[in-house]
Homo-oligomer: A and B are copies of this chain.
């Protein structure tokens, strides 16, 4: 436990976040239009990102990553979506700098020994 006031602490300088954004109350069950809009925003953001079928993974400082996801909500609200829910898995670590590709590589190296 620390003596410093944690509410004045800086947020982590780097993180990996994976988010899945769901518009609620949209007229159709298709989400591809909204997901494409999100991808366009991410491209403009300058952050490193990677889309997969269940979400998008982002890398950057905690503040940059979270602002970017918040802007995705704001943009879709501006486009007329009245309610949005996102699930975010976010990880931080102090023992080493590890990007999202490094995480995959570490597992693949282990699996290659099986062959």
Write the residues of chain A forming the contact surface with B, with a CB cutoff of 8 angstroms. Answer: 1-2, 4-7, 9-12, 15-16, 18, 20, 22-33, 35-37, 39-41, 44-46, 50-55, 57, 62-63, 66-68, 70-75, 77-79, 82-95, 100-101, 103-104, 106-107, 109-111, 114
Query: A27-B25, A29-B82, A71-B9 are contacts. A89–B52 as well, Cβ < 8 Å?
Result: no
Beyond A40-B114, A87-B88, 17 additional contacts (C-beta under 8 Å) are A6-B41, A11-B66, A11-B74, A12-B73, A16-B54, A18-B54, A24-B26, A29-B93, A33-B110, A36-B107, A53-B100, A73-B92, A77-B94, A82-B94, A82-B95, A85-B91, A87-B89
A-B contact pairs, 9 of them (CB 8 A): A7-B71, A11-B71, A15-B73, A18-B55, A24-B29, A52-B57, A82-B95, A85-B91, A86-B88
Closest to A21 in B: B90
Interchain nearest-CB distance for A39 vs B (Å): 6
Query: A29-B93, A83-B95 are contacts. A111–B36 as well, Cβ < 8 Å?
Result: yes
